[in-house]
Amino acid sequence: MLKGFTFDLDGVITDTANYHFAAWKKMAHDELGIDLPDSMNDKLKGISRMDSLDIILKFGHKENDYTQAQKEQFATDKNNLYLDSLKNMSAKDILPGVKPFLDSIKQAGYPMSLASASKNAPTILNKLGLTDYFDAIVDPATLKHGKPNPEIYQKAAEAIHEPDYDCVGLEDAAAGIQAINAADQFSVGIGDKDVLSKADLIFPSTADLSLTKIEEAYKQ
């Protein structure tokens, strides 16, 4: 029986991926001398800050060039650029269809938790005015592994008292769908069906989200 919902943030509730990528692009160009192609954006979705930096350094063949302290500084510099770009974020930045979808879940009485890899997630939910919808937010600093490891989705289910993981998880990234499946939850992908082919149910965009369709698919 379906008992709760676990949510990704970036790409599901709001579209912060482009802000993340613009910040990585600028930092990598200015501080590492690495020019990132736009095709890199998809590869960084759902990936933690330090894992993203490792992917970028590897891409530029610079994975052995810096100390841990230098790497932490690069990540902080990227985060400051990212936070700058969020200055004007507000409820207008909630993706289409998300607010009514959250309302329908609330009305049906399901608990919700957030399974975002972003350490900035509480700030972002606050700016969007959505904090009160969520019963719990997993703190990514407590995780041993990033997506596609199931840990974040397991913790998100446990946080809403669903130790059997009878939850629906929503994701826009392939690594996230893998994490939901490995956490024994029903995976809902939002986006391209080729990228999200492992999802149990796919909606082309957030505007198509429907609680009724999810409940029907979950039963089968």
Q: Which residues are catalytic?
A: 8, 10
Closest by Cα among 137, 197, 202 to 6: 137
The residue among 17 and 195 lying less far from ligand B16, judged by its C-beta, is: 17
**CA 169 – CA 155 distance, rounded (Å):** 12
Identity of the residue numbered 183: A
Cross-strand partners of 188: 170, 201
Q: Is 151 in the site for Mg ion (CB under 5 A)?
A: no
Strand residues in 18-70 grouped as ranges (E): none
Cβ burial of 216 (10 Å; 0-12, 13-18, 19+) is: exposed
> Could you say whether residue 118 binds ligand B16 (CB under 6 A)?
yes
- CA–CA dist 64, 115 (Å, integer): 31
Is 172 known as a binding-site position?
yes
Q: Which of 4, 19, 34, 46 binds ligand B16 (CB under 6 A)?
A: 46
Residue 169 near which of Mg ion, ligand B16, none (CB within 5-8 Å, type-dependent): none
| Interaction of residue 180 with ligand B16, rule CB under 6 A | no
- Please tell me the total number of residues recorded for the chain in this structure: 220
**Segment 81-100, which members bind Mg ion (CB under 5 A)?**
none
Q: 173 is written with which tokens?
A: 């990234």
Q: List the 4-7 sheet strands across, edge first.
A: 136-137, 112-114, 4-7, 167-171, 186-190, 201-203
- State yes or no: 93 annotated in a binding site: no
| Among 4, 11, 146, 169, interactor with Mg ion by CB under 5 A | 11
CA atoms within 13 A on the CB side of 43: 14
Instruction: Identify what 34 binds: Mg ion, ligand B16, none; CB under 5 to 8 Å per kind.
Output: none
Figure out which of the listed residues 44, 160, 174, 180 binds ligand B16, where binding follows CB under 6 A. Answer: 44
Among 116, 178, 187, 206, binds ligand B16 (CB under 6 A): 116
Is 125 part of any known ligand binding site?
A: no
Q: How far is the CB of 25 from ligand B16 (least distance, A)?
A: 12
**8 appears as a binding residue in the annotation:** yes
Indicate whether 104 belongs to the interface with ligand B16 (CB under 6 A).
Answer: no
List all residues 6 or more positions away from 164 whose beta carbon is below 8 Å from its beta carbon: none
Q: 6 touches which of ligand B16, Mg ion, none (CB within 5 to 8 A by kind)? A: none
Please state, in angstroms and rounded to a whole number, the distance separating the CA atoms of residues 18 and 36: 13
146 in contact with Mg ion (CB under 5 A): no
Annotated binding residues for substrate: 8-10, 24, 44-49, 52, 78, 116-120, 147
Binding site membership: which residues? Answer: 8-10, 24, 44-49, 52, 78, 116-120, 147, 171-172
